[in-house]
Amino acid sequence: MWEQIRSNQIRSVVLVIGMGALLVLLGYFLGLYFFGSAIGGLIIAIAIWLIMSLVGYFQGDSLLLTMSRAKKIRRDDHPRLYNIVEEMKIASGLENMPDIYIIDDPSLNAFATGRNPKRASVAITSGLLEKLNRDELQGVIAHEISHIKNRDVLLMAMCSVLLGTIVILAWYGSRFLFFWQHGRFQKKVFVRGGGWYSSNNSSGSGTCIHDTGTDYGTICLSGDLPEEGIPG
């Protein structure tokens, strides 16, 4: 068992290092391409990651519970669930009692959240409460309490933030790249009659497309605007 735990810890470290390296490389190449400076891209990437990490660290649990529409309960609201969580808290050796939330959802699901054992919460769906008996529910709560005790929740939250930063940079970077390339070729747009003229300074070749309709116009795409103008 201890060998498996050690193996999982090594894999977690490798995962975090790999995602961090991917973030650095992405920032490096985006900065090099758009700003001509790799340092600028690295600074932007790290700044976005830091801001998202701070939000995730201090408010991640609140955001997750709010998005899940979880409702906090006390002992009187659901005595059986409260007693089970309390039992597992004592058995695990946690100093603080996790907050307990119920999500009004028929699906079978439960999760733990919180940046440390002193600020932790356990959320469970109403469907799970209805379908499981006490022993089965105790097993689910024990699993979630183990996540809190081993700080798996914090690791998952920070990895999610790191992955989210990579996705944001890649998404916006790809779109800026598209419009950047498009803008280098499409320099001018002229409108006359029912058509438009766009110059392509890099190609020098042209194509004329005739259009009929309420306003007859000729659309000419060329490297240089004809001296006589766009035929109308």
What structural domains does the chain harbor? 1-64+155-185 (no CATH), 68-150 (3.30.2010.10), 186-222 (no CATH)
Both tokens of residue 55?
């939000």
Residues in the chain: 232
If pLDDT is split at 50, 70 and 90, which confidence band does 57 have? confident
Which is it for strands 195-199 and 217-222: parallel, antiparallel or unpaired? parallel
- Provide mean pLDDT across the span 26-30: 91
Alpha carbon distance 51, 107 (integer Å): 33
Structure tokens, 145: 């309490």
Distance CA 36, CA 186 (A): 22
DSSP classification of residue 97: P
* Inter-residue contact 143 to 108 (CB < 8 Å): no
pLDDT in tens, 193-226: 444 444 444 444 444 444 444 333 334 444 444 5
What span, in angstroms and rounded, lies between the C-alpha atoms of 77 and 75? 6
User: Of these residues, 3, 95, 130, 144, which one is catalytic?
Assistant: 144
Tokens (6 digits) for 126? 């109403």
Residue 144 annotated to the active site:
yes
Backbone phi, psi, residue 107, to 5°: -70, 160
Task: Pick the more confident residue, 15 or 220.
Answer: 15
Q: Check: pTM over 0.85? Answer yes or no.
A: no
pLDDT mean across residues, the chain:
80
**pLDDT at residue 9 above 90?**
no
Question: Residue 70 and residue 216: Cα distance in Å, rounded?
Answer: 62
The tens digit of pLDDT for each residue in 125-178 reads: 999 999 999 999 999 999 999 999 988 888 888 888 899 999 999 998 888 877
